[in-house]
Amino acid sequence: MSRRFGVHLITSLFLIPLGTIALGDEPASPAVRSESNKQNTEKKLLEGIKAPAHFKVTLFAAPPDVRYPACLAAAPTGEVFVGIDENGSLDAKADRGRVVRCIDDDGDGKADRFNVFAKMDSPRGLIFDAGTLYVLHPPKLTAFHDDDGDGVAERSEVLVDGIGFDLKFRGADHTTNGIRLGIDGWIYVAVGDYGFIKAVGKDGTTLQLHGGGVARVRTDGTGLEQFSRGQRNIYDVAIDPLMNVFTRDNTNDGGGWDVRLSQVIQTGQYGYPSLFTRFSDEIVPPLADYGGGSPTGSLYIQEPGLPPGYGDALYTCEWGRSVVDRHPLEPQGAGFKAGKEPFVELPRPTDMDIDGRSHIYISSWREGGFVFDKPDVGYVVRVSPTDIATPQFPDLKAASDEQLVRHLAAPSDVLRLNAQREILRRGKPSFAPGLEALALADGPLPSRVAAIFTLEQLLGQKAQDGLVRLAKVDPLREFALRALADHKSGASEIPTEPFLNALTDHNPRVRLQAVIGLARLDHRDAAQTILPRIADEDPLVAHAAIHALVSLHAVDVCLKALDPATPRLIPGAVRVLQGLHESRTVDGLIQRLEKDRDEATQRACLKALCRLYHREADWDGRWWGTRPDTSGPYFTAAAWSETDRIGRTLTETLKKADTGLAGWLIIELFKNKVDLEGSTALAIKLAGNDPTLRTATVELLSGQQNLSDDTIRFLGAVAAADRETPALRTKALRGLVRHLDKPSALDAAVTGFATVTGLESRDSALNGVLQDFLREGRHTRNLKPILAFVDDADPARSALAYSVLLEIDRNPRSPAEAKAAVRKAIDGAWSKPKTAASLLRAIGDGRVGTYALQVRNRLKDPNQDVRDAATVAARHLDLDHTARRGGKPAPTIATLAFDQVVADLQKEKGDPSLGAELFQKQGCLACHTISADEPPKGPFLGGIGTRYSRAELTESILKPNAKIAQGFETQKFATIAGLQHEGFVVREAGDEVEIRNAAGEVTVLPKSDIEERGKAETSVMPTGLADTLTIADLASLLAYLESLKAK
């Protein structure tokens, strides 16, 4: 799911129970009562929090002092700064944000004093550094300075403006989020998939980031740059002492992008939204995929004051699952293998930090919603080790220069970072010898790395000679190279020899920094030496090398690499060339294609040309929404100066190609959305004998706006073929359903679906598209063909037609005229055995209980077909339901108060198998998916029980407008032709938007046809869906939802 704050919890845990007073006792004084109430509140808030042995949890801050905590930062000495945002994720009201400073005077783990340090809208990330608080509050990154040390900022300076969108655009969800300061002196920014159009640093540097990723800027607002791209909605960045960067990304609610834990490398492309589905070989794979969830804050901890196993690890907050996870990391090449273990379980964690005495602070959004709805929301807890004594954090301002250098050698990451900051504030070149000596000393690597980056920041370009010397020391090489390439200015003065030598280093981490550094310093003459690394055995090195050669415009080098004598280089060379939209790239590829008869070389050239046919369109600043098109390779494809020439070359090649090459080329064309004249007809011709091509052809044709008769016949044949995989049949059927207005498409769809309805056990994806077809709203506007199908000679097609009619009849939104015609047809069906049997099959298949009497009456019908159909229908309807419900009627949900329903459901376990039937019967499949293999509709329900409590799920079902999932508000569209459409967005591409209304009807609108677009603060999900259910029924439905797996 998307990262969002809050779901309303039904029972307020902030209510303070009234104690009883024994007769004859004196009433407690106000002070005693206040302390008693405080203790009761604390006890309530801490209930259910679980921490490992050897840790103690205390309530550090709570309402009214701290509420709606979106982020926090701990000073090394224990003061905690809490970013408060009462807008939550979706509200957009000004003056609801601030940072509160919390002080624990007596060290008992509970803050005693509070004051507002500074005010701003939408605080999302905080860093505290000796009187300066850096605050990411989109669209700004601001440094707030407390010059006199009174705990209140006297002045502020904007370091970056335009880094995200302000509240005039929408609430601060999916925008720029958490920030983290690395030992390299950069502030790393987690950027959600709003991205930013034009961020401007204090030095005038500008940057655009379309979508999510990591950006970074120096602490003085200079050097703003992109670090990574292609992430979805990361809320925070974690950085370890060796400058490994980690994020835990949010899911896109069933669209295939699940919660991803990633190691983030500089120049890395992570694939969202356009590459991860069809071009996964072009992205950095995640360390782990955790299915559904809502990650928020993250932190790498390296502190000596924590028990073994906890003091050197990555931690991430999982809002959706109400847990803070610990991730043991095992080095693996240039990257890691990651594990996951629960650390602290508490409601809706949003962020975490650690102070200089190993006290961990975690903020919680407990009881919060998407918007402000009550004052008492959230709290902050302190998690402290119980068996390890930690010394007071040293007074760094009072420390001598020698002591500060020694502090860099400390085992504490907090102490090292803060000692470094004090050294840099003093700015004395005399620190240099001690720093280089510390780096060369045979001590712990984190301390030596801290010395390297402190030296680089202290001396700037004057540190070059020392860094070159350090680059010759084996364990320091990667860090010295990174420090050498840190400043792009003066790149011509930086020697290339250390980088070139490092390209063949035995350590993949060194090779990684070598290719990144050479590209960063724009050493184009190094391209030939970098080239072998595109086939590096380490995937991170290969990925970085490819992007390095793209940035160095290495066209000629990569064209030469398309050589059958060096086959290992060809895939990487193609990756480079397809990223270089230059005329000379196209010239070279066409020349190689015409002259070189080697098939591998030809295919390499064609593959690159297919990608180069389009380019990514210039971004117009519009967000792609929570459900962007993920088919790629571009979100909005645009022609460029070489498109026509490439098209002519590909067309000629396709005409001359033999069957094998033609089939392969068609697949490449389809993947890259290159539609050449004659390619579709040839694909259909060749697909009959080529399963791979058949799959690719179905994927392409099923999404086209216009289908020829040949295309409809091809899709219909695939849809009805039992030998094809359910996934492929589903795609073919969806393609036909998009075009039901064409009689031939409707006929082909009916034939395909008729082969599905008779199956007792159906594939979930096939069943999903079947339910979509049955509930398709266009049937009510064009009933004539459906009514004709009821008399079809094929019993399966006839039964399918009746299934459509039954859905129209029980849909409260169906027009009265359509319902009248449907009921007439159903009433008439009982008069003939053939149609009666078909209707009974449809009744049983759809579990339409309103016809239970008619089913009973035909269990002894003289016609064998009718009796058999009635017997099956009776079994599906579970006609003996009175025994299931204890022999007496149970009250329905509509007759019960909401609070009573919630309370009763906590006692009733429910039957998941019955719930599965009800899920289908109640029409839930019209707007929800339960499998990651299904195309996205409304909110994805896989793993929903791990993210929401039963009370929260009950509220969503019974009060759908109370809390609307982000991205699923009702959207309204007015077209240029004067038509009105409304529904939620299922998919948004650069040129079209696909919506689904409450009836499950899908409409695809070209964006060029949309005149006006707006949003209604109501849910598409109608109220009253569960009114006729009993508590046992609803409990069973909830039990089924709770049983669904995340993937």
Q: Where does 730-884 sit in CATH, by number?
A: 1.25.10
Query: pLDDT, tens digit, for every residue of 585-601?
Result: 999 999 999 999 899 99
Q: What is the rounded CA–CA span in Å between residue 936 and residue 544?
A: 32
Q: Which two tokens stand for residue 841?
A: 């099959």
Among residues 233, 389, 381, which one has the least CA distance to residue 320? Answer: 233
Number of Cβ within 10 Å of residue 896's Cβ equals: 17
CA dist., res. 112 & res. 134, Å (int): 24
Least confident segment among 495-509, 724-738, 740-754, 943-957 = 943-957
Mean pLDDT of 19-44: 52
Tokens at 786, concatenated = 């459906």
Q: What burial letters (b/e) apply to 48-75, b meaning 16+ CB within 10 Å? A: ebebeeebebbbbbbbeebbbbbbbbbb
CA–CA gap between residue 33 and residue 19 (Å, rounded): 10
pLDDT at 36: 58
User: What pLDDT is stored for residue 35 in this prediction?
Assistant: 61
Strands (E), 258-398: 260-264, 268-269, 288-289, 295-302, 312-318, 323-327, 329-332, 335-338, 341-345, 349-354, 360-364, 379-385
Task: Identify the pLDDT of residue 881.
Answer: 55
H or E stretch at 478: helix 477-484
Q: Measured between alpha carbons, how far is 995 from 986 in angstroms, rounded to an integer?
A: 5
Angstrom distance (rounded) from CA 385 to CA 310: 10
Mean pLDDT over 923-942 rounds to: 70
Name the more confident of 1025 and 953: 953
> CA nearest 479: which of 509, 523, 520?
509
Q: Given the structure tokens 């006729």, which residue do they identify?
A: 1028
Give the residue carrying structure tokens 């389009």: 614
Phi, psi of 972 (to 5 degrees): -115, 135
What's the mean pLDDT in 893-907?
83
Q: Give the pLDDT of residue 966.
A: 62
User: What is the pTM (predicted TM-score) of this model?
Assistant: 0.86
Q: How far is Cα 678 from Cα 798, in angstroms, rounded to an integer?
A: 37
Cβ–Cβ < 8 Å for 167, 94: yes
CATH topology classification for 394-460: Leucine-rich Repeat Variant (1.25.10)
Model pLDDT, residue 41:
79
Query: Residue 25: pLDDT above 70?
Result: no
d(CA 71, CA 133): 13
Identify the weakest region by mean pLDDT among 197-206, 464-473, 1000-1009: 1000-1009
Residue type, 123: P
Q: Is the pLDDT of residue 507 over 70?
A: yes
* Residue type present at position 634: Y
Q: Say what the alpha-carbon torsion angle 491, 497, 498, 504 is, to the nearest 10 degrees.
A: 130
Average pLDDT estimate for 34-40: 64
Rounded to an integer, what distance in angstroms lies between the CA atom of residue 560 and that of residue 569?
A: 10
* Percent of residues, the chain, with pLDDT higher than 70: 92
Q: Which amino acid type is present at position 682?
A: L
Tell me which DSSP letter residue 494 carries. S
CA distance 849 to 851: 5
Q: How confident is the model at residue 869 (pLDDT cuts 50, 70, 90)?
A: very high
Please say if the pLDDT value at position 9 is more than 70: no
Give CA–CA dist 704/720, Å, rounded.
Answer: 20
Identity of the amino acid at 64: P
Instruction: For the chain, give the longest Cα–Cα distance.
Output: 107
| Tally of CB atoms within 10 A around 872 | 17
Q: How far apart are CA 912 and CA 914, in angstroms?
A: 5
**pLDDT per position as a tens digit, 597-631:** 899 999 999 999 999 999 999 999 999 988 899 99
- What pLDDT score was predicted for residue 16? 26
Tell me the two tokens of residue 1034.
């609803």
902 compared with 126, residue with greater pLDDT: 126
Q: What is the pLDDT at residue 688?
A: 86
Classify 877 as helix, strand or coil: helix
How many angstroms separate the CA atoms of 253 and 936, rounded? 8
Contact 738, 996 (CB under 8 A): no
Rounded to an integer, the average pLDDT of 657-665 is 93
Across 87-110, average pLDDT: 93
Instruction: Tell me what pLDDT residue 661 has.
Output: 94
Q: List strand residue ranges (DSSP E) for 592-694, in order.
A: 615-616, 637-638
Q: Is the pLDDT of residue 918 over 60?
A: yes
In the chain, domain spans: 30-385, 394-460, 730-884, 893-1043
Contact 829, 790 (CB under 8 A): yes
Asked if residues 346 and 32 have their Cβ atoms less than 8 Å apart, the reply is no
Burial code of 208-238, b = ≥16 C-beta within 10 A, e = fewer? Answer: ebbbbbbbbbbbebebbebbbbbbbbbbbbb
Query: φ and ψ at 895, to 5 degrees?
Result: -95, 0
Label residue 933 by pLDDT band (50, 70, 90).
Answer: low
1031 is written with which tokens? 């508590």
- Residue 298's pLDDT band, with cuts at 50, 70 and 90, is very high
Mean pLDDT of 302-311: 95
pLDDT category, 941, cuts 50, 70, 90?
confident
Residues facing 1000 on adjacent strands? none
Angle subtended at Cα 86 by Cα 81 and Cα 92, rounded to the nearest 5 degrees = 125
Name which of 392, 363, 386 is nearest 306 in CA terms: 386
Percentage with pLDDT > 90 across the chain: 67
Q: Give the pLDDT score at 405.
A: 97
Q: What pLDDT digit, counting tens, does each position of 61-83 carry?
A: 999 999 999 999 999 999 999 99
Which fold is adopted by the domain 893-1043? SH3 type barrels. (2.30.30)
Q: DSSP string spanning 752-818?
A: HHHHHHT-SS--HHHHHHHHHHHT-THHHH-HHHHHHHTT-SSHHHHHHHHHHHHHHHH-TTS-HHH
Beta strands 97-103 and 113-119, pairing class? antiparallel
- Would you identify the CATH topology of the domain 30-385? Neuraminidase (2.120.10)
The alpha carbon of 905 is separated from its chain's Cα centroid by a whole number of angstroms, namely 31
* Torsion sign across C-alpha atoms 318, 324, 325, 329: positive
pLDDT (average), residues 818-826: 93
Write the CB contacts of 560 (distance below 8 Å, at least 6 apart in sequence): none
On whether the CB atoms of residues 942 and 259 are closer than 8 A, the answer is no
Cis link prior to 935 (omega < 30° from 0)? no
When the pLDDT of each residue in the chain is averaged and rounded to a whole number, the result is 89
Question: Does the pLDDT at position 29 exceed 70?
Answer: no
Same fold, 30-385 and 893-1043: no
Structure tokens that stand for 659 in this block:
């069957």
Please give the angle made by the CA atoms of 654, 656 and 657, to the nearest 5 degrees. 65
Q: Give just the sign of the alpha carbon dihedral 345, 347, 351, 355.
A: negative
